[in-house]
Structure 1
Amino acid sequence: MSDVRESAPEDTPARERDLVIDLVRFICLALVVVSHCMMVSPVLHPDGTVTSANTLGDQPWFEPVIWIFMVMPLFFVTGGTTGLQSWRRLTADGGTGFEFAQARLLRLVRPAAALLAAMFLGLWAALLTGVDPQVIQLLATGAGMPLWFLAAYLSAQLNIPLLARFHHRAPWLTFTALAALVVAVDCFRGALPLLAYANLVFLWCAVQQVGFLVADGHFAKLTRSGLLGLIIAANLLLGVVTGLGLYSGNMLVNLNPPNLTLLLLGISQAAALQLFRPELGWVAGLRWVRAMVMVAGRRSMTVYLWHLPLLAAMSGLLLLTDFPKPAAGTAAWWWARPLVLLGVIALLLPVLAAFGRLEERPTASVHTRGRPAAAVVTAAVVVFIPVADAAFNGLTLGLLGGGAACFALAVLLLGRMPERVTANPSPKRQGGVGGPLPAGPSSANVEP
């Protein structure tokens, strides 16, 4: 099948990018932002209390539609594809698992630290100015929702060095073992509810492993009819397990904590990605599309982390004004969604200007020594403590402050990535998956 790629300039080591994967990531991010603008609906009651309603999720037609537009598994499939390729490039240049973990942590923790600090300072100032603590808690809870993705994505990405070794030896056995762990957790989650959160690791690592299979061309070996059959089979099995009442038919319910249904969706989406790769490749090859995807990709994590807090803040401020606020679910409310989306985009622009560069991986001199393994491990633990607390007990104002401090400490522990330069790259590694890293700092759009 055709594959659209972008080659590095001739004067730098070759570094090819799969433009189809970049395009799919851009589409997924856009769908997440748009869907959140259709979900968030704070309601001010006559007694002064404020509640939040998920207007989109309350629609009777929502469940079948979310089967198609639940893109979170696709995020992990594409993350597995690029993550495996990044790991192989790093090891080809003599890198280690700790360096890989350092790069992944830096890429995600730096923009998240800025978000937590800004949320803490903003909500604390609002509290001091007399905003009801209930509203503060509602904003903290809603705006902190993207952090679960950060925890799950980091858990999966930090396991790539280990899972890549298993994948190299026995790819299908590794995937089967992870899928079996997902099913085992689902079987015992009724008796042990807390055990269900183990699938934040097992489930997303299994979906990521599907990305490994995509990266190694296992899906590309299937014919178009074979890919279509795989899509139908995965969705039929999904229909059976939800129809029997084993799982909810609402994929948002299945998201936290995650379960087998999302693995089935991930397989279906990976097959669909391969099935439509020629068409996606043509679209990704358009000059204006490529430019748009590259610009958005360099700031994708900032957009993801900040769009919901900005949406929550904007919605909360509108409650304090006389601006017309149509009742949720009415025709006027739906017609107002494009304006809400434009408002979020307008608020994102200065945020991207102020904090977007935090996504760029800070790269030290080529002579700088890497961080000790103990520092990388400590940074990972420091990051996961507040995130795990938020997952189990909910995000509070105090936890926002503690989380910002923990994330800032993790950034200090991680330092800067030492630059790797390959003096004489072999012809075999001049192109494709085995190519070395580019010299100089890399942006979030470019996998480290």
Structure 2
Amino acid sequence: MGVPQLGAGGGPATRPERDLVIDLARFFCLGIVVVGHTMMVSPVLHADGTVTTENTLGNQRWFEPVVWVLQVMPLFFVAGGITGLRSWQRLRARGGNAFDFIQARMLRLIRPAAVLLAVMFTGLWAARLAGVDPEVIQLLTAGAGMPLWFLAAYLAAQLNLPLLAGLHSRAPWLTLAGLVALVVTVDCLRGTLPLLAYANMIFLWCAVQQLGFIISDSWLLNLRRSALAGIIVASNLVLGLLVLLGLYPGNMLVNLNPPNLTLLFLGISQAAALQLFRPVLARLARVGWVQKVVALAGRRAMTVYLWHLPLLAAMSGLLLLTRFPQPAGGTAAWWWARPLVLLAVIVLLLPVLALFGRLEERPTSSGHARPRPAAAVVTAAVVVFVPVSDAALNGLTLGLLGGGAACFVLATLLLGRVPARSPADAPPGGSGPPLPHPPLSANVEP
């Protein structure tokens, strides 16, 4: 049940109820990513002074079947489709347009990233001036910048959401089929045109996002549990067949960047699993302490995601300069040290969250402020995607890190602040639910 509120016309309006299951799913995904990275990053100092990094967990043969379950990026985009569509529908009901939606979404995502890029550039440039080997600087730059690909893909999907939502409202299955056809076309041509494979960072993740639209329409809720289980089994069987035929690698980490069709089948399986286990997840999510932890983490999820890997890389790099024991990756001592590494990353995240966590909150100005011009919003999107596309195609460098920070700050200035719509701005009769007041939940976004 929603919480009764007064609508614009004085009548009752209903505040949309937070979907605790989506909050919990996002928290689970974030936890899997952070824990997984602590078991992957393993810098090695060689006798000649050079430093390389190993993906210890990714190099384990037994991990390939496990990652079919733990590759949770599709679930991130399914959840983003659910919450994004609901946010767009609320905004439209209050008279907002696509540029208002894009402005709010970009500000929510790029403000934390702008600070991260600026801090990374400053710290690594200072390290270079202090005489740290440029090879080490580049290694830390490339490793710490890995989370930015997710930011680029998620932004691309969310900025296309108003267009895709309109197509979905008219022809949901045809829209999904069209996106899947584009994904397959890109996969077929990626052998002859390797750079074209990166187009699936848009097509693939938009297709997975559409699965969230389908859940938001309650279509999966009308299916029997046996049907949901059948979808899970069928999608994994098709995925297994694609791998057995040699069309795609079996390692879902390899399939992640640039993404391919395999992740769509994982997304289908995870979307069905989310609905199949929804009753159990709902009971767990309503537990008091679980709800508090999940809500707190959800309001700072982007900060945690963006900062955890740079902090892990910096900590690992600094330890190489000390006499602290450095067990070889994959050894028993290395595995036993992982809980300590995870704890250290969490401790390092706490001051970062205290300093920069508020950048995720919706930057709202006076209710009488005017929205930004469409040209400013479009320019900001271009300014953001120029360095992001360069990094995706050519890798992140120290110079690009500084240029990216400048571009993100410029985009933030172009976007300004989001005008808070007063009750008088709502459609006559109070149609359309009000936007939630801060602090925003993990899944009710402006």
Q: Matched residue pairs, number?
A: 439
CA contact (8 A) 2:19 2:443 kept: no
Q: For residue 366 of structure 1, what is the aligned residue in structure 2?
A: 367
Matches within 5 A, 1:366-405: 366-405=367-406
Which residue is equivalent to 2:241?
240
> Offset of 1:361 from its aligned partner?
1.2
SS at match of 1:52: strand
Instruction: Tell me which residue corresponds to 2:415.
Output: 414
CA distance in 1, matches of 2:290, 2:185: 43
Give the equivalent residue in structure 2 for 1:75. 76
Q: Which amino acid aligns with 1:272?
A: A
Aligned partner of 2:202 in structure 1 is 201
- C-alpha change, 1:302 and 1:68, in structure 2 (3 Å) is same
1:438: which partner in 2? 436
User: In 2, Cα distance between the equivalents of 1:441 and 1:412?
Assistant: 23
8 A contact 2:107–2:412 mirrored in 1 = yes
In structure 2, what is the equivalent of residue 129 of structure 1? 130
In the alignment, structure 1 segments of 5+ residues that lack a partner are none
Give the match for residue 25 of structure 1: 26
AA aligned opposite 2:26: R
In 2, Cα distance between the equivalents of 1:352 and 1:445? 19
Deviates more, 1:434-443 or 1:179-188: 434-443
Identity rate, percent: 72
1:273-292 equivalences under 5 Å are 273-292=274-293
Question: In the superposition, relative to structure 1, how do residues 316 and 279 fare at CA in structure 2: closer, same or farther (>3 Å)?
Answer: same
Question: CA–CA distance in 2 between the matches of 1:222 and 1:47?
Answer: 61
Question: In structure 2, what residue type is equivalent to 1:238?
Answer: L
Q: CA deviation at 1:426?
A: 8.4
| Displacement of 1:437 | 1.0
Partners of 1:16 and 1:421 lie apart in 2 by: 21
Instruction: Note the C-alpha offset of 1:443.
Output: 6.9
Partner of 1:219: 220
AA in 1 matched with 2:52? T
Q: In structure 2, do the counterparts of structure 1 residues 8 and 114 end up closer, same or farther at CA, with 3 Å as the change threshold?
A: farther
Using the size of structure 1 for normalisation, the TM-score is 0.95
Distance in structure 1 (CA, Å) of the matches to 2:60 and 2:319? 24
CA RMSD of aligned residues (A): 1.6
- Give the alignment's TM-score, normalised by structure 2: 0.96
CA contact (8 A) 1:359 1:444 kept: no
Corresponding residue number in structure 2 for 1:99: 100
Q: Conserved in 2, the CA contact under 8 Å of 1:284 and 1:290?
A: yes
In the alignment, is residue 310 of structure 1 matched against residue 308 of structure 2?
Answer: no
- Return the alpha-carbon distance in structure 2 between the equivalents of residues 84 and 10 of structure 1: 22
In structure 2, distance between residues paired with 1:234 and 1:428: 43
Cα shift readout 1:215-257 (whole Å, capped 9, x = no counterpart): 0011111100000000000000000001110000000100011
Shift of 1:444: 6.3
Contact in 2 for aligned 1:93/1:422 (Cα 8 Å): no
2: distance between equivalents of 1:171 and 1:400? 39
Offset, 1:436: 2.4
Alpha-carbon separation, structure 2, partners of 1:88 and 1:40: 41
CA displacement at 1:425 relative to structure 2: 7.9
Distance 1:317 1:242, change over 3 A: same
Give the SS at the match of 2:43: strand
Question: Is 1:120 aligned to 2:118, yes or no?
Answer: no
CA contact (8 A) 2:78 2:211 kept: yes
1:19-58 mapped onto 2 (5 Å cutoff)? 19-58=20-59
Q: What secondary structure does 1:370 align onto? A: coil
Tell me by how many angstroms 1:383 deviates: 0.3
Partner of residue 148, structure 1: 149
- The 4+ residue runs of structure 1 with deviation greater than 2 A are 7-13, 421-429, 438-446
Q: How big is the shift at 1:11?
A: 7.1
Q: Give 1:422 deviation, angstroms.
A: 3.0
Alignment match, 2:268 = 267
